[in-house]
Structure formats: C-alpha cells, structure tokens
Amino acid sequence: MCRVAHALSTAHRAERRSAIGRSAHFKPQGRPADEPSMQVVAFIGVGAFCAVSAWVGLRLLLLFARTGRGPERDGAVALLGIGPLGFGLTVLSGQLPPSSLVLACAIWALAAACLAAGTTAAYAFTYRVFHPESAAARFTLFAAATVLAVCWIGEGLVAHFRADLPGSGFTRLADFVRTGALLWGAVASLRQWFPARRRVQIGLSDRGVADRFLLWGVGLAAVGAAGLVDSIAKLVGLSASGQPALLLMNASTGALAALALYLAFVPAQPLAWLRPAEATAR
C-alpha cells in the first residue's frame, strides 16, 4: 500500500502538471475517464487508515507511558510508523514540485525509515504477544530487522531515495518483508480468536477479548493482502495509479482496516452492535 500511496500522489500531481518530467512509470498514459475519481476514492481509503492508525497509535503510546510494557510500545510504533508517518510522508514526497527534488528525496528517506521501524515493531508485537517463547519467532524478528536495515541502506546507495523514480529491488524486498509482518500478525491473531470464541461459548472468556483478536486479525489481513497484491503487480510491471481495480482494492482494504482498528481498540464490546439480542438478554 505504501508504493500505491506514492504512485497515487505522483499521478495526481502529474494530472495537474503535465510537463514535470517524471518517470514514464508514473505518467498517466491511456487512463480511463473515471480514473481520477477512483484515485480520490483510493486516497480516502488510505487516508482513513492513516488517520485511525495515528489515533490508536497515540492512545497506545500514552498507555505505554503509564505501563512501560513492551506490547503497547511495539503496537504504537507499528501503527504510527507504517500508517501516518510511513504512508503520510510517502504521499507528501510525491506532492512536492520538481524544483524540490532534494527535499522530496529527504522526505522519502525519512518515510522509508519510519516504515522500516514500524515494520520491525509489528514483528516485535506479534512475537511478544503471540509467540513469546518461540525461538523461531525471535529469529524471524531479528532477521526481518536486519533485512529492513540493509534495504534502507541499499536504497540510499543505489537509488539515493529518488522520489521521482520507482523503487529499486531493495524497496520491493522491503515491501514484501512489511507484507510478511502484517500477514504473520493477522494469522497469529486469528488463530487466537478460534479458541477464544469457544471459551466465550462456555463462559470462560470475555467476548470483547475474543472480538479484539478477530478485529486485529482482519485489520492486518486487509492491509497485508493489499500490500501483497500491490507487490506482485509491481513485479509484473503494473502501476496502481493506472489500474482502477487496484485503486478500488486499496480504497476498500484501507477503509476496512480503519474500521477494524477503531473497533478493536475503542469500544469495550467491539461487536456488541452485531448481537442486539444478546445485549437485551443481559
């Protein structure tokens, strides 16, 4: 979704400035007439995800300040690093004029660093919460952190964080590693939801806790699936800014992830509104 955000912002600027000399990878050639409106829809979906990620991330950061516990810190860094800072700065780097190329590259470098930090924190969150005793999970965390650091350095050395060009192989590898963090977290959370749901049915667990496992898994799965499809599309030479189906997918997954994150962290009983009969019985 990060590369989608950058492609969208670059295409939007190209729509307004047809002679800015951007790479042909991003030029709006042969677009259908309804594509600009699809870009707006995609921006809304990605923007909703960034806004909710910022809000929930700040709430977790304040909670960490009171408790000092690792999961709250990792969750906050993951949401803030991947959401508003990573995606947000990525969009900003694509909105700057060609005369500000140096500034755009600096912002792109900062965005890539935030994404790497957020992705590492996402791996750490899954490790601490779902697999705290697993040596394989610990190795996965450190391996991912190492690969992301190498990718960030490599992108700087090879492509100099050029915001006007498609990412290098290092950027694509980092995209896959980030997608892996999201999908790993989704699978781990959904695996906890199944036994938690059974415990609720026999009165051994709180339904709100079980619902949160489901919502966290759905939110991560939505963003991770979008990232996986986007990464595969890039490998075969497709740009999200020129594909209405990809734009619609990112709008939908962004909105779904935003809703799931909000429900997972804000209401005491996140999905009680889906069970009115049960609430009346209480």
Tens digits of per-residue pLDDT, 83-137? 999 988 988 887 888 888 889 899 999 999 999 999 999 999 999 999 999 999 9
The pLDDT assigned to 26 comes to: 38
Question: What's the rounded mean pLDDT across residues 47-68?
Answer: 95
pLDDT bin (cut points 50, 70, 90) of residue 20 is: very low
| Contact indicator for 104, 151 with CB cutoff of 8 Å | no
Torsion of CA 170, 172, 177, 180, to 10 degrees: -170
From the CA atom positions of the chain, what is the Rg in Å? 20
Interacting residues of 66 by C-beta distance below 8 A, sequence separation 6+: none
21 has pLDDT over 50: no
The larger pLDDT score, comparing residue 141 to residue 242, is at 141
Sign of CA pseudo-dihedral 46, 50, 52, 53: positive
CB neighbourhood size of 19 (10 A): 7
> What torsion do the CA atoms of 86, 89, 93, 94 make, to the nearest 10 degrees?
70
Q: Enter the pTM of the model.
A: 0.83
Contact 212, 222 (CB under 8 A): no
Average pLDDT in the 157-174 region? 81
d(CA 224, CA 1): 8
- Predicted confidence (pLDDT) per residue in 214-243, tens digit: 999 999 999 999 989 888 887 887 766 667
- Asked whether the beta carbons of 144 and 123 are under 8 A apart, the reply is yes
